[in-house]
Chain A
Amino acid sequence: MARAATAGIVAADAGIDAMTLSNLALWQRVRDYVLPLDSGNRTFEEQLIVAHGINRRTAKAAILEYRKFLYLAAISDRRVVPSRAVDAVWHLHLGHTRDYWDRFCEQIGQRLHHTPGTPPGHGKDYAATLARYRAEFEQDPPAHFWHQPSGFYGFAGLALAAVLAAVAATGWLGDQSDAAFVVAGVIALASLPSVLRGLGVWKTPALRNQSAVPQGKTLNTNSASCGGGCGGGCGGD
């Protein structure tokens, strides 16, 4: 009882309810771990800011999500998949090889491996990672860092455009056929960016600035599709 009460206070500053964490001590170690300076004495946060051209607020938030991911990877027996944003932070940390392997991994007592590539089952593993995130931290993963474009709206738009064009081609619309073709064309064009992002052909930067006002939008399981672009990094196996 006393232990749980203390734990609640300690975990509160990260907005996390200690009661749901399956390994509180481990989370505290990961949360409080001091990430490495570079040899020019820049802090980890500054390195991330410079490498990705993002602001400090975004960098801080991204690093917190990375810590949560590390924790999930450490408690999981199965493969865990980061989002592209989290993977970008992981890559920066992996570049500090001494710190990562000789300090960090020693402190958490595990060697967390990173394996690039998207094998079959990648999307399922990503969904499982998000589910574990919710279970452990009792919150939805912030969409800004965890949403992977699935191209759903893009494909839906393309389908709509195709139907509209087909209807126009039958001539049922009479004089309006030409206008319907134009509308179908516009919808198809507007859908294209979403489709390209969903297919992973067009890669937006892994880390983008958050808007100044914290987004109310959180991730819902159905819209979070990993697609082929999960940064390719996967831990815990």
Chain B
Amino acid sequence: MTLTDRALWARIESHPLPADAAGVSFEDQLRKLHRISGRTARAAIAEYRRFLYLSALKQGRTVPTKAVDEVWHLHLTHTKDYWETFVPNALGGAAIHHTPGSPDSHVSDFRATRARYEAEFDEDPPKGFWAIQTRRGALLSQGVMVAFGSLFLWIGLTNDAPWPWLAIVLLFLVLATTVFVRSAATSGGDGNTFQFGIDIWADGEGGDCGDCGGGCGD
């Protein structure tokens, strides 16, 4: 790791995240709240700490992924810990503020955050939490869905398939086409995508910035 500020990272990395009023650990709160495994929760918390560090460097606006933003939100609700322990002790009083919303520079800020991540931690951000789902990528995957649906429909029609089967394929096609059309019609540039049921915690597809969960540190 080629950390700019080792002491800062050490303080952020070792800050104990707060238990709730019933004594439930931070990891368990996250696990229960989002119904994820302990492993996923720990990984997400580790990425959150890295994000905090990148924000604390104060090199410009940072944008978290949706998963990291969820961890941040949970921490922000522990207001005493965040503002009276974490900010003064780990950050030396230089607060990291959270500002919801996506201004015009949002996607470029997200890319800059990723670039800083790579520079500081000497590795790519794990795809699961930090992937950029591009507009082109989303359109491509949805186009593939429509193509496959059409193929099955064609096979079904030419082989006298029974009607429930056809109805299912047709329903799928209508849904896939709707999503495809909505994606294609979404105004806004690269990274502004619309996708069904994206799992923000998943290793393969998660981490899409999109509207970035709306939170941004600076």
Which residues from chain A sit less than 8 Å from chain B, CB to CB? 37-42, 47, 91-92, 94-98, 101, 111, 113-119, 232-234
Contact = CB atoms under 8 A, between A and B. Distances in A.
Nearest to A93: B100
Interface in B160-218: 214-216
Please classify how large the interface on chain B is, using the bins under 10, 10 to 19, 20 to 34, 35 or more. 20 to 34
A159 B23 CA distance: 33
Q: Which of B22, B79, B99, B102 has the most CB of A within 10 A?
A: B79
B99 A114 contact: no
A103 B23 CA distance: 31
Interface string B81-116: 001000000000001011111110000000000000
A101 B95 CA distance: 11
B20 A115 contact: yes
Given A47-B101, A111-B83, 18 more contacts: A38-B101, A38-B214, A42-B101, A96-B99, A98-B99, A101-B83, A113-B79, A113-B80, A115-B20, A115-B21, A115-B79, A116-B29, A116-B77, A116-B78, A117-B19, A117-B20, A118-B20, A119-B22
Contacts of A115: 20-21, 78-80
Interface string B19-32: 11111100001000
29 contacts: A38-B100, A38-B214, A39-B101, A39-B102, A39-B216, A40-B101, A47-B100, A47-B101, A91-B73, A94-B79, A95-B73, A96-B98, A97-B97, A97-B99, A98-B97, A98-B99, A101-B83, A111-B83, A113-B79, A114-B77, A114-B78, A114-B79, A115-B20, A115-B80, A116-B29, A116-B77, A119-B21, A232-B20, A233-B77
Contact of B21 (A47, A94, A98, A117): A117
Q: Which of A113, A118, A234 has the most CB of B within 10 A?
A: A113
Contacts of B98: 95-97
B76 interface: yes
A27 B29 CA distance: 34
Interface of B: 19-24, 29, 73-74, 76-80, 83, 95, 97-103, 214-216
Contact of B20 (A91, A97, A113, A116): A116
B80 to A, nearest CB: 5
B21 A234 contact: yes
Contacts of B77: 91, 94, 114, 116, 232-233
B189 to A, nearest CB: 14
B214 A95 contact: yes
Nearest to B96: A97
Contacts of B23: 117
B99 A116 contact: no
A205 to B, nearest CB: 14
Contacts of A42: 101
Contacts of B74: 116
Given A116-B21, A234-B21, A39 B103 contact: yes
Contacts of A114: 77-79
Given A95-B76, A97-B76, A113-B79, A118 B216 contact: no
B76 A94 contact: yes
Q: Which of B20, B76, B77, B95 has the most CB of A within 10 A?
A: B77
B139 to A, nearest CB: 23
Contacts of A119: 21-22
Contacts of A117: 19-24, 29
Contacts of A94: 76-77, 79
B147 to A, nearest CB: 31
